[in-house]
Chain A
Amino acid sequence: MKVVAQRPESLTDAPFHYCPGCTHGIIHRLVAECLDELNLREQAIGICPVGCAVLAYDYFNCDMLEAAHGRAPAIATGIKRLLPDRLVFTYQGDGDLASIGMGEIVHASGRGENITVIFVNNAIYGMTGGQMAPTTLLGQVTTTSPYGRTAEQAGYPLKMAELLAQNQGAAYICRTAVNNPANVMRTKKAIKKAFQTQMQAKGFSMVEILSTCPTNWGLSPLEALEWLEKNMIPYYPLGEFKVS
């Protein structure tokens, strides 16, 4: 019998803990497929965030560390400076990267730190139960913006890909989404390109991936995919912001 699909070697057989319809699982698989296809699993060192993906060290079948909230880029820096020939990647959510870890991510990109950041943007704090994130859209209801986010009270959602692409040290910055099969394939291509950018020692690379949180958005998995397309993509345009 011919095998047409199987678990990538870069994923363990531990079942994901993610909620039904959450797109973290898809993104994990894409990262793992890229590690496999580039034959990088044994050279890879990954850093998990604080947030829903905190347990990613149970899922990726390579050396893994878990970081304090927002500090993954600093930890990645420490590793990469001492092991420059390894593939070092962080996997971070929007609260982790764009709020408490803003200092670390901006400076890692500014230094042109030769690491790859997988940035999962679902516009909400998932693990802590649906609070407002720096990427929460205007009008979006969360437990800490119960009447909908307003610019007057909480300012405007941050566009991280655009922000970091301005830094000279950033070599590859791309925003994708995983709301349909075509976008999933584009996301995989972007992750692969980011890893290649790092292996060619070109500098900082980040793929911002628009992702869903059906549980905290209060939507069914299918509705969540539609909500992402209708609300997130117009504010967070997809595409490559920096290629070098």
Chain B
Amino acid sequence: MTKVLMKGNEALAEGALLAGCRAFFGYPITPSSEIAEYMARKMPKMGRTFLQAESELAAINMVYGAAATGNRVMTASSGPGISLKQEGISFLAEAELPSLIVNISRGGPGLGGIQPAQSDYFQATRGGGHGDYHIIVLAPSGVQEMMDFAMQGFDLADHYRIPVMIMAEGTLGQMMEPIIVREPVTDLPPKPWATTGCKGRKPNIINTLHLSPEFLEERNLHLQHKYKLIQEREAKAETFMVEDADLVVAAFGLMSRIAKRAVMDARQKGIKVGLIRPVTLWPFPEKAFQEAAEHVSKFLSVEISMGQMVEDIRLAVNGRVPVEFYGRIGLIPNPEEITRQIMKIAQQEGWV
């Protein structure tokens, strides 16, 4: 099949269109703006809706309204903008409105910088806004997955009636790779709960206010039940040379490809090292780590942050194996740095 050279942000936008995304609402922010720009060029010609909102708050609430009509809709932003969207994401989660939210992430806190980062991991995986909720978080590692995950993201969102986030480092949004462009999706699930006007049926209501304490608890238990199901079914990881490994490096997103290179370098130096790449950040693929914990003596989490996913690995292995951390922010750890970290551990453990 012919491959096409595409920029990550554009591949994601095109993937969303192929998945049947009917509306995009966004607010400009580096390094995610190309998604909005791509949609602004393409969507009007396809008879779909592109609207530049006055704020991130408005954008996410336009998503709320548009998702309530039963259509596939999305927004995209980056760190500071995603923080502003948290109010709306909490409402989307409780109203169970399927929607796609993209974070082409940059370093914080505050305005931070525009360099790629993974420091929004806590925000993405812990819900982010107020209340007990989760959203599904997918972390692509290349431009092909930017397209594929946009499409899968909409499927997951519709299937579980949940907001889905794609979190990709700014680099992934900006870089180009040859990809296979997928076929458009034509068969979309019906959404009888949508508010489209009550012709021929009883009125539908979409709300998140539950003044009865018992009903509020019931709603929360319903959400938790759904989250448990998602944890059981959708947690996903890729493993590389883990079977005989003494040490397992963990990294997600584009960082996982850099870490893979370091793993191969260290293998050449005779170190039995493998890699686990969480594909879903929530649900966190605990099983992959628990299985590896049966035979490895150490984990090393490598992140473009000051250490966030490392906490989930520690929770997953629950003290059975030590979990070390290496990370940078502003800059991206390079393969040589990671190899040095691996060799340092190898020396401490007496493997070399």
Contact = CB atoms under 8 A, between A and B. Distances in A.
B231 interface: no
A62 to B, nearest CB: 5
24 contacts: A42-B197, A42-B198, A45-B196, A57-B207, A62-B197, A62-B203, A63-B195, A65-B205, A66-B209, A67-B64, A68-B88, A71-B58, A71-B61, A71-B88, A74-B61, A75-B65, A77-B58, A78-B66, A79-B66, A79-B69, A81-B66, A83-B69, A103-B55, A103-B58
A44 B205 CA distance: 12
Interface of A: 41-45, 47-48, 54-55, 57, 60-68, 71, 74-83, 86, 103-104, 106-107
Interface stretch (B31-39, B46-54, B330-338): B46-54
Given A45-B195, A83-B196, A66 B66 contact: no
B245 interface: no
Contact of B49 (A41, A44, A74, A81): A81
Interface in B54-92: 54-55, 57-59, 61-69, 71, 73, 87-88, 91
A62 B204 CA distance: 7
B342 interface: no
Given A74-B64, A78-B65, A82-B49, 16 more contacts: A42-B198, A43-B197, A63-B205, A64-B195, A64-B207, A65-B65, A65-B206, A77-B58, A80-B65, A81-B62, A82-B69, A82-B73, A83-B196, A103-B57, A103-B58, A104-B57
A66 B58 contact: no
Interface string B200-221: 1001111111000000000000
B23 interface: yes
Contacts of A64: 195, 203-207
Contacts of A62: 197-198, 203
B267 interface: no
Name, among A65, A78, A106, the residue most crowded by chain B CB atoms within 10 Å (CB to CB): A78
A77 B49 CA distance: 11
B298 to A, nearest CB: 45
B199 interface: yes
A64 B206 CA distance: 6
B25 A43 contact: no
Contacts of A81: 23, 49, 51, 62, 66
Interface of B: 22-23, 25, 49, 51, 53-55, 57-59, 61-69, 71, 73, 87-88, 91, 195-200, 203-209
Name, among A61, A66, A81, the residue most crowded by chain B CB atoms within 10 Å (CB to CB): A81
Name, among B61, B73, B204, B205, the residue most crowded by chain A CB atoms within 10 Å (CB to CB): B61
A68 B200 CA distance: 29
Interface secondary structure of A, over-half rule: helix
A76 B54 contact: no
A68 B92 CA distance: 10
A57 B209 CA distance: 11
A158 to B, nearest CB: 18
A66 B65 contact: no
A68 B209 contact: no
Contact of B61 (A41, A44, A83, A104): A104
Contacts of A67: 61, 64
Contact of A66 (B25, B73, B208): B208
Contacts of B66: 78-79, 81-82
A91 to B, nearest CB: 13
Contacts of B197: 42-45, 62-63, 83, 86
A62 B203 CA distance: 5
B53 A86 contact: no
Contacts of B209: 54-55, 66
A68 B61 contact: yes
Nearest to B88: A68
Closest 3 CB pairs of A and B: A78-B65, A78-B66, A74-B61
A74 B57 contact: yes
Given A78-B61, A79-B68, A82-B23, A41 B205 contact: no
Contacts of B62: 74-75, 77-78, 81
B30 to A, nearest CB: 22
Nearest to A63: B195
A81 B52 CA distance: 12
Contact of B68 (A57, A60, A65, A74): A65
A55 B208 CA distance: 11
A78 B206 contact: no
A43 B61 contact: no
Contacts of A83: 69, 196-197
A15 to B, nearest CB: 15
B195 A78 contact: no
A55 B207 CA distance: 9
A74 B206 contact: no
B88 to A, nearest CB: 7
B57 A75 contact: no
Contacts of A74: 53, 57-59, 61-62, 64-65
Given A45-B196, A86-B196, A63 B87 contact: no
